[in-house]
Amino acid sequence: MAYPQLFSANRKISWQEANAYTLLANDLLPVQYHKAAHIGKERAQKAQMKLFDYAGFAMLTYTIKQGESGFEPVGEEDLAGKMTQGAEAMLFICDRDGYAKAQSRPMPIEKGEEIFKKMLSDGMQEFSGRIKTVS
């Protein structure tokens, strides 16, 4: 698609043309931090509520991540993840890159396994990679 020359010493453009070019440029630029944070917060809150329904408690974790072209919101997908340490387990809802959008509080491993199996039987896919979470 060819675009007319926007900046020319002899050419004046209308405000409609200027708005069209601004919209075009905004669609081509990486997502700005505040926009990524807003989108990511919505996605993470949905994951938090979903995990709350399973575990009775869920904490919001990541809302944005650093991508190749700048800040990105966490992904739309909800994948079930778990970590164990000692006699405790924590459950997570992650995006495809492993960024935890929500996490449970520590619980006994048996309880964590029971809830995790329920999440999978309800149709959530398992995330099997390294979970990126807040410390």
Report how far residue 94's alpha carbon sits from residue 78's, in angstroms, rounded to the nearest whole number. 6
Mean pLDDT of 101-120: 98
Is the pLDDT assigned to residue 112 strictly greater than 90? yes
Closest listed residue to residue 111, CA positions, set 46, 58, 56, 60: 56
Range of the domain at 117: 33-126
- Burial label for 130, CB within 10 Å (0-12, 13-18, 19+), is exposed
| Structural domain includes residue 21 | no
Structural domain contains residue 79: yes
pLDDT (0 to 100) of residue 75: 95
Residue 1 in any domain: the answer is no
Place of tokens 């800040």: 71
Q: DSSP per residue over 43-94, as a string?
A: HHHHHHHHHHHHHS--EE--SEEEETTEEEEPPS--EEEEEEETTEEEEEEE
Question: pLDDT of 23-39, one tens digit each?
Answer: 444 444 556 888 999 99
> What's the total number of domains in the chain?
1
How many angstroms separate the Cα of 16 from the Cα of each of 3, 11, 13, 22, 46? 15, 14, 8, 10, 38
Read off the pLDDT of each residue in 92-110 and give the average, rounded to a whole number.
97
Does residue 62 belong to any structural domain of this protein?
Answer: yes
Distance CA 7, CA 13 (A): 9
Tell me, what's the pLDDT at 134?
A: 84
Does pLDDT of 19 surpass 90? Answer: no
Tell which wins on pLDDT, 102 or 135.
102
| Residue whose entry in the numeric block shows the structure tokens 């924590």 | 90
Predicted local distance difference test score (pLDDT) of residue 97 = 95
Please report whether residue 95 resides in a domain. yes
Q: Confirm whether 94 is domain-assigned.
A: yes
How high is the pLDDT of residue 122?
97
Q: Tens digit of pLDDT for each residue in 41-95?
A: 999 999 999 999 999 999 999 999 988 888 899 999 999 999 999 999 999 999 9
Is the separation of the CB atoms in 69 and 50 below 8 Å? no
Residue 12 or residue 51, greater confidence: 51
Q: What is the pTM for the complete model shown?
A: 0.75
Whether 99 maps to a domain, the answer reads: yes
